[in-house]
């Protein structure tokens, strides 16, 4: 059964780019930058992956021409990781070639743990060729992040740090919120101390306040990092952070393949179910 888009509209900016663009402009007007995500994952045929690459290239062009303060996020499995690793690499490189020409930026989101190693390998390869035009996401809940974070920080990689949104077993990921927050702080410290511009992606006041305190007491200026949140969540808090002079960015997903993303939002926080219900009845 296909759910109507009405369900997803709290968290997804539209089913088409035309529907999402006015929302991006509104966000930019509030001095908040955007990351656009064309929804889709686990693509198993080349036709769909090729179409995705073409759509993303078009998206980079439209961002540029519309003068938006926006970058893009991609998923390796959308670029064909489940089909063939070399093919996926070629697709990501095609996109990065366009991004470099236009002085734009592409971030590779992190997916479930079966893809972590391949995604990090693809990133390292891309970073060698495209440097500042490519970034990665690291999930604080993964046990392996204690090794990945220092290595990526030493490379000078551009990292978005998040808690992690996929259901993972205990042998792979921390399970308690306290332990995840503790790991998050430890990794944020490394990124803030060693990299030029880390991205602190969370809606969690405990982590936001910790970041504010850590940076101010260690002479890390507000221009040296940014806060990131997801579309539909805590926008007034984002606006307040922007008003305090912090760099801020909202991740704006759009597209017809919204169901897996929507489901992750509902399962990570029960209050999100309530947000969906209230938004459904707003015009
Ligand atoms: P979490 O849901 O853990 O909530 C913690 C506390 O924060 C709550 O108890 C409450 O106090 C406060 N809070 C949270 N939401 C609130 C709200 N709406 N209103 C008021 N208070 C609220 N994951 C992944 O695996 N791969 C990826 O590539 C990405 N990318 C990504 C980009 C960006 C920009 C963000 C913000 C997040 C991701 N994530 C992600 C998702 C991430 O891993 C994680 O699942 C969610 O951000 C939820 O964790 P939080 O720390 O945000 O709050």
In the predicted model, is pLDDT for residue 248 greater than 80?
yes
Contacts of 142 (CB under 8 A, 6+ apart): 113, 116, 148, 164, 168, 172, 173, 174
Q: Is the pLDDT of residue 124 over 60?
A: yes
Based on C-alpha coordinates, what's the Rg of the chain? 18
Residue nearest (by alpha carbon) to ligand 1 atom 11: 204
pLDDT at 250: 98
How does residue 49 score in pLDDT terms, banded at 50, 70 and 90? very high
Residue ranges covered by each domain of the chain = 3-275
State the closest ligand 1 atom to the C-alpha of 275, by its place in the atom list counted from 1.
18
pLDDT of 126 > 70? The answer is yes
Q: Mean pLDDT, to the nearest integer, of 181-208?
A: 98
Question: What are residue 137's DSSP bridge partners?
Answer: 160
Residue whose CB lies within 8 A of the most ligand 1 atoms, among 145, 164, 165, 271, for a mutation test: 165
As a whole number, mean pLDDT of residues 90-95 equals: 98
**Per-residue pLDDT at 222:** 98
pLDDT at position 215 is 98
Region of 107 (left: φ > 0; alpha: ψ -120 to 50; beta: rest) is beta
Cβ-proximal residues to 171 (8 Å cutoff; 6+ apart), any chain: 143
162 CA to middle of ligand 1, Å? 7
Residue from 74, 78, 14 nearest 51 by CA: 78
Q: If you average pLDDT over residues 249-267, what whole number do you get? A: 91
Domain 3-275 belongs to what topology?
Answer: TIM Barrel (3.20.20)
For the Cβ of 229 lying below 6 angstroms from any atom of ligand 1, the answer is yes
Measuring CA to CA, which residue among 228, 218, 160, 226 is closest to residue 193?
A: 218
| Residue 282 confidence (pLDDT) | 65
Per-residue confidence (pLDDT) for residue 276, from 0 to 100 = 78
Relative to beta strand 106-108, strand 70-74 is parallel
- Mean pLDDT along residues 247-262: 93
Q: What does pTM read for this prediction?
A: 0.95
How many other CB atoms are found less than 10 A from the CB of residue 53?
A: 20
Flag whether pLDDT at 261 surpasses 80: yes
pLDDT above 90: percentage of residues in the chain: 86
Catalytic residues: 109, 160
Q: Reply yes or no on whether the pLDDT at 249 is more than 70.
A: yes
For residue 28, the SS3 value is helix
**How many other CB atoms sit within 10 Å of the CB of residue 276?**
18
Q: To the nearest whole number, what is the mean pLDDT of the chain? A: 95
DSSP code string of 79-142: TTTTT-HHHHHHHHHHHHHHHHHTT--EEE----GGGHHHHHHHHHHHHHHHGGGEEEEEETTB
């Amino acid at each position: 059964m296909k759910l109507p888009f009405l369900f997803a509209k709290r968290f997804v900016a539209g089913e088409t780019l035309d529907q999402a663009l006015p929302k991006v402009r509104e966000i930019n007007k509030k001095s908040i930058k955007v990351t656009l995500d064309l929804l889709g994952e686990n693509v198993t045929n080349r036709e769909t992956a090729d179409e995705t690459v073409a759509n993303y290239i078009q998206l980079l062009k439209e961002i540029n021409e519309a003068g938006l303060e926006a970058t893009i996020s991609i998923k390796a499995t959308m670029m064909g990781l489940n089909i063939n690793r070399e093919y996926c690499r070629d697709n990501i490189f095609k996109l990065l070639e366009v991004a470099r020409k236009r002085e734009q930026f592409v971030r590779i989101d992190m997916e479930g743990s079966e893809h972590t190693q391949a995604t990090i390998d693809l990133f390292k390869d891309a970073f060698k060729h495209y440097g500042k035009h490519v970034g990665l996401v690291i999930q604080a809940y993964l046990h392996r992040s204690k090794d990945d974070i220092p290595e990526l920080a030493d490379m000078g990689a551009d990292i978005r740090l998040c808690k992690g949104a996929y259901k993972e077993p205990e042998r792979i990921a921390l399970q308690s919120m306290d332990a995840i927050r503790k790991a998050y702080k430890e990794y944020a410290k490394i990124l803030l101390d060693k990299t030029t511009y880390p991205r602190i992606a969370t809606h969690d006041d405990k982590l936001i306040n910790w970041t504010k305190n850590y940076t101010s007491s260690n002479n890390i200026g507000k221009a040296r990092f940014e806060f990131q949140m997801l579309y539909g969540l805590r926008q007034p808090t984002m606006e307040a952070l922007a008003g305090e002079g912090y760099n801020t960015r909202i991740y704006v997903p759009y597209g017809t393949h919204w169901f897996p993303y929507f489901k992750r939002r509902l399962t990570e926080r029960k209050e999100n179910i309530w947000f969906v219900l209230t938004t459904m009845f707003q015009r």
